[in-house]
């Protein structure tokens, strides 16, 4: 993943910067977009899932130490799994 501080992701009414090494889950049914306001290109890995398999279990584990802000869920435990 390649990012810069000018890359901003918006979901609903909230905007965040997703730093390298982080794993985020958000509600893609809400209006969302991304803007690169920096000078460098960005490369982010985006996965779209229906939540099957072990994903729900991993998300429950991540929520124990996660930052949950509206439609955003910072799930660093998912990145380690």
Mean of all residue pLDDT scores within the chain = 77
Q: 10-27: per-residue pLDDT in tens?
A: 988 889 998 887 878 888
d(CA 11, CA 27): 8
Does the reported pTM lie above 0.85?
A: no
Coil/strand/helix, residue 80 = helix
Boundaries of every domain in the chain: 7-80
């Amino acid at each position: 993943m390649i990012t810069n501080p000018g890359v901003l992701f918006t979901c609903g009414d909230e905007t965040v910067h997703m730093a390298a090494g982080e794993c985020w889950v958000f509600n893609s049914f809400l209006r969302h977009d991304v803007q690169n306001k920096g000078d460098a290109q960005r490369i982010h890995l985006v996965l779209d899932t229906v939540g099957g398999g072990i994903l729900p279990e991993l998300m429950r584990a991540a929520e124990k130490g996660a930052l949950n802000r509206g439609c955003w869920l910072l799930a660093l435990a998912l990145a380690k799994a």
